[in-house]
A and B are shown apart, each in its own frame.
Chain A
């Protein structure tokens, strides 16, 4: 039998009113170390990566999140013995404490934006004029090659500037309400931005208002807005061997 883990909490946070069931319908409980705890349940069988189980895991984490601050464990973080768990809590105690403090009462929202990157690039390319041509007299194959490469380089540069400009505009809508952010910029020619924002629980509705304003302003863009989530993307660990991100 093994021990399945869901997330790290403050030790004084206890669920009183209901029994929460985790994987295999097992009741969850907390293992403590000093003033932190880890929410776990017992696992009879080997659990493989099955979609149902990941939803179960997520459900437990979110239920906990309704009550208190949780640092969610990656799906399928399983231990053989309680002693191993205690050792892990000991090793990461400072990290967990810092994260619990920083993330208390905060939730994560995600914003993804798809833009017409190809079209933007085409427009930039057609606006490229002879003024950018290199003043090389020679008409050799090498000279022509470098002219072409330079043109592409200038277009790429303008394209990146435009992408960054758009990202700044979008980011500005959300930064007012976010205490932290994580931006993944122009991952490919259509996905302009994948952003995560850390918001105080009380500011959630004003944050959503920011999103409504953005919707109105951005035409030709496609967006995906989601939240609140547990703060998966804002956990900072100094010890590298364990990852808490789901």
Chain B
């Protein structure tokens, strides 16, 4: 059978492909400012990931009715403060939400 490549929108798939390829840097920046920012980005990405995992875990427990009203409010308070702190840190290092969301190629977006 001859090769078939069929689509109803080649532009959309070209765009998708370019999006995933754009996240792999072609060169590594090694000057000191970029190394610092790169390190901050890595650390904050990991913190963000953990924070989101904890939030999700809390949501599951709320859904399963395993937390009291008081506990729910306290969690809300803690997470709110965490989120605000993260926003501060992102601003200090000049990082956006997109900067901290890694595209893992075949595994999709990190968050």
Q: What are the interface flags for A199-230 relative to B under an 8 Å C-beta threshold, 1 for contact and 0 otherwise? A: 00100110010010001000000111111110
Residues of B within 8 A of A191 (CB): 16, 108
A145 interfacial contact with B, CB 8 Å: yes
B9 touches A146 (CB 8 A): no
Residues of A within 8 A of B6 (CB): 211, 224-226
- Shortest Cβ distance from B11 into A: residue: A222
B1 interfacial contact with A, CB 8 Å: yes
A112 interfacial contact with B, CB 8 Å: yes
Tell me the chain A residues, 43-68 only, with Cβ under 8 Å from chain B. none
**B23 nearest CB across to chain A (Å):** 11
Say which residue of B1, B5, B8, B109 sits within 8 Å of A188 (CB atoms): B109
Residues of B within 8 A of A227 (CB): 3-4
B9 touches A114 (CB 8 A): yes
**A83 nearest CB across to chain B (Å):** 34
B109 touches A146 (CB 8 A): no
A188 to B77, CA, bound (A): 30
Q: A225-B5, A226-B5, A228-B3 are in contact. Are A145 and B79 (CB under 8 A)?
A: yes
A143 to B78, CA, bound (A): 10
Q: What are the interface flags for B53-72 relative to A under an 8 Å C-beta threshold, 1 for contact and 0 otherwise? A: 00110010011000001001
Residues of A within 8 A of B93 (CB): none
Residues of B within 8 A of A140 (CB): 73, 76-77
A141 to B78, CA, bound (A): 11
Residues of A within 8 A of B76 (CB): 140, 142-147, 149
**How many A-B residue pairs lie within 8 Å, measured between CB atoms?**
103
Interface stretch of the complex, out of A1-9, A96-104, A131-139: A131-139
A224 to B6, CA, bound (A): 6
Q: A188-B109, A222-B9 are in contact. Are A146 and B3 (CB under 8 A)?
A: no
B55 touches A114 (CB 8 A): no
- Shortest Cβ distance from A233 into B: residue: B106
Residues of B within 8 A of A187 (CB): 106-109
Tell me the chain A residues, 77-117 only, with Cβ under 8 Å from chain B. 112, 114
**B79 nearest CB across to chain A (Å):** 7
B37 interfacial contact with A, CB 8 Å: no
18 example contacts (A-B, Cβ-Cβ < 8 A) are as follows: A114-B9, A136-B72, A137-B69, A143-B73, A145-B77, A145-B80, A150-B59, A153-B55, A187-B107, A190-B16, A208-B1, A211-B6, A222-B12, A224-B6, A224-B7, A224-B10, A227-B3, A228-B3
Q: Which residues of A contact B (CB under 8 A)?
A: 112, 114, 134-138, 140-147, 149-150, 153, 184, 186-188, 190-191, 194, 201, 204-205, 208, 211, 215, 222-229
